[in-house]
């Protein structure tokens, strides 16, 4: 066969089923000691899992659950700008360590009025402000619990502002949760008022909220709010969408297109990184060293790797283009340097996730494994006596049609569909249970290799190619499986 104008890469492309991680000597005494965390740009994940920006996977409920479990959700872009912004804001408001509008008392209030506030709101401590909103004192339960005269004024019970430890900021934009935590710890106080240079009350942080936040693995920003990402394209309203997402304090913007090796993608990365340096910029998808390097040279923080491995993607069948996912990750990791890569697609089991990370991935993006959960958009249906939720490819004909209707998008060239339009995913229950199961499996995988963290997992992992017989041997066999 003559190939005058093409080069045949003399390397066998491998998928996850073609390889196994080789176990090694391990000094890990308990899987609880394994650190699964990873830094993606400005975002720290305690669980290296990102939910795909698909309309059947990631809305605000999924993104909130992902962040609460230590991962990250990327809100899909097949919606109007206002709808996407609304989804982002719902996540950012779901948890807030700073009480921006605390219930306050006035120094002229009586103890009787404080008792009423206590009963109405179920709280026992109040910043005391004057008529101009400036902090003049702090009233806590210990200040009034023994007072019997209900006509006593707050001014006579409170601790004056001159004796109150507080945090002064120019605005809440400069709030740093770590600074607040250190002040509360060192001063041994329960409440930390936040004021501006004039003494006006901006907000309040409590020791209880700090402790609750410290005891969780949630993915949070500097203000203690849950982190969330959102996807944009590279045409039409992409820059306006990105700007409004930044204004809504999104934490990551994901340039989400089928071919991340386009010149246009690189131009968009440069523009976003130049204008929004504080945001984590994710872009893809690519599947080769050249593709990864092109995005890195454009300034991207995280590269999304995967052409055609998704469960509802038909790119390889329709176009004949792609790289088997295990090989794509391995190639990409070899040139990523200090940047990070997300292995997007191809994971059907927790073992596949472990392989993706071992090959050099810093995190994985999941679609089908998270679809069908309570937190994914859509209703639970019964099809052929099975409980399911709808699931489809974002490059499918139906997805394109819905996008045009929602965005009033007039496309001169209608692309060939590269995804499944109508599909179903089995109902899985809470996504948090799915993520806990994945986390436990990853801890076991790290333990088998003797890796305490992701960096060691990358360095210590070795693979062996396997045959179809070995694949069969890897799954339950010679028994009747009933559950």
Mean pLDDT of 132-140: 94
Report the 10 Å Cβ neighbour count for 267. 12
Beta-bridge partner residues of 381: 388
Q: Which of 141, 208, 235, 401 is catalytic?
A: 401
For the segment 190-230, what is each residue's pLDDT rounded down to a tens digit? 899 999 999 999 999 988 888 877 768 999 998 889 999 99
Q: Is-contact 286 261, C-beta < 8 A?
A: yes
Q: What percent of the chain has pLDDT over 70?
A: 90
Mean pLDDT of 261-282: 97
What pLDDT, on a 0 to 100 scale, did the predictor assign at position 1? 39
Please give the model's pTM, rounded to 2 decimal places.
0.82
Q: Does residue 44 carry a catalytic annotation?
A: no
What pLDDT, on a 0 to 100 scale, did the predictor assign at position 100? 82
In whole angstroms, how far apart are CA 312 and each of 141, 148, 261? 58, 69, 21
What pLDDT, on a 0 to 100 scale, did the predictor assign at position 398? 46
According to DSSP, the β-strands at 126-129 and 381-383 are: unpaired
Q: Does residue 316 carry a catalytic annotation?
A: no
3-state secondary structure of 171: coil
What pLDDT, on a 0 to 100 scale, did the predictor assign at position 2? 46
Walk me through the domains of the chain, giving residue ranges and CATH numbers.
Answer: 16-95+219-474 (3.20.20.70), 103-214 (3.10.580.10)
Beta-bridge partner residues of 425: 389
Q: Which of 254, 313, 392, 460 is catalytic?
A: 313
For the segment 62-85, what is each residue's pLDDT rounded down to a tens digit? 999 999 999 999 999 989 999 999
Cα–Cα distance, 453 to 38 (Å, whole number): 9
Residues 6 or more apart whose CB falls under 8 angstroms from that of 343 comprise 305, 306, 325, 329, 356, 357, 359, 361, 363, 364, 365
Q: Is-contact 228 72, C-beta < 8 A?
A: yes
3-state secondary structure of 289: helix
């Amino acid at each position: 066969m003559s190939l005058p104008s093409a080069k045949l890469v003399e390397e066998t492309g491998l998928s996850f089923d073609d390889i196994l991680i080789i176990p090694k000597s391990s000094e890990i005494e308990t899987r609880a000691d394994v650190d699964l965390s990873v830094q993606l740009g400005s975002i720290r994940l305690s669980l290296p899992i990102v939910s795909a920006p698909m309309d059947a996977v990631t809305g605000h409920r999924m993104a909130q659950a992902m962040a609460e479990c230590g991962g990250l959700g990327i809100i899909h872009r097949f919606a109007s700008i206002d709808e996407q912004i609304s989804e982002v804001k719902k996540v950012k408001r779901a948890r807030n360590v700073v009480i921006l509008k605390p219930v306050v008392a006035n120094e002229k209030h009586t103890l009787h009025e404080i008792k009423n506030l206590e009963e109405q709101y179920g709280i026992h401590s109040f910043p005391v402000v004057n008529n101009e909103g400036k902090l003049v004192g702090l009233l806590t339960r210990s200040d009034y619990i023994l007072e019997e005269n209900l006509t006593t004024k707050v001014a006579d019970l409170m601790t004056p502002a001159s004796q109150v430890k507080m945090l002064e900021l120019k605005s809440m934009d400069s709030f740093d949760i770590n600074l607040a935590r250190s002040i509360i710890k060192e001063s041994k106080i329960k409440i930390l008022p936040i004021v501006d240079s004039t003494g006006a009350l901006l907000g309040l942080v409590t020791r209880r909220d700090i402790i609750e936040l410290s005891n969780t693995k949630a993915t949070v920003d500097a203000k203690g709010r849950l982190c969330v990402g959102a996807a944009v394209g590279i045409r039409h309203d992409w820059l306006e969408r990105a700007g409004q997402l930044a204004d809504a304090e999104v934490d990551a913007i994901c340039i989400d297109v089928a071919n991340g090796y386009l010149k246009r993608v690189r131009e968009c990365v440069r523009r976003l990184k130049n204008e929004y340096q504080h945001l984590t910029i994710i872009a893809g998808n690519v599947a080769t060293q050249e593709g990864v390097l092109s995005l890195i040279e454009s300034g991207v923080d995280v590269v999304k790797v995967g052409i055609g491995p998704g469960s509802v993607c038909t790119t390889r069948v329709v176009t004949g283009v792609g790289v088997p996912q295990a090989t794509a990750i391995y190639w990409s990791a070899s040139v990523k340097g200090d940047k990070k890569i997300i292995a997007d697609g191809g994971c059907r089991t927790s073992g596949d996730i472990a392989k993706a990370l071992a090959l050099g991935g810093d995190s994985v993006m999941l679609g089908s494994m998270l679809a069908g959960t309570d937190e994914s958009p859509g209703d639970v249906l019964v099809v052929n006596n099975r409980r399911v939720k709808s699931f489809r490819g974002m490059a499918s004909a139906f997805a394109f049609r819905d996008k045009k209707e929602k965005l009033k998008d007039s496309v001169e060239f209608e692309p060939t569909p590269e995804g499944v339009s109508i599909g179903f995913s089995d109902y899985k229950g809470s996504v948090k249970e799915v993520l806990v199961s994945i986390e436990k499996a990853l801890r076991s995988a790290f333990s088998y290799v003797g890796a305490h963290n992701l960096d060691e997992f990358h360095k210590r992992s070795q693979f062996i190619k396997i045959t179809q017989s070995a694949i069969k041997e890897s799954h339950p066999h010679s028994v009747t499986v009933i559950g």
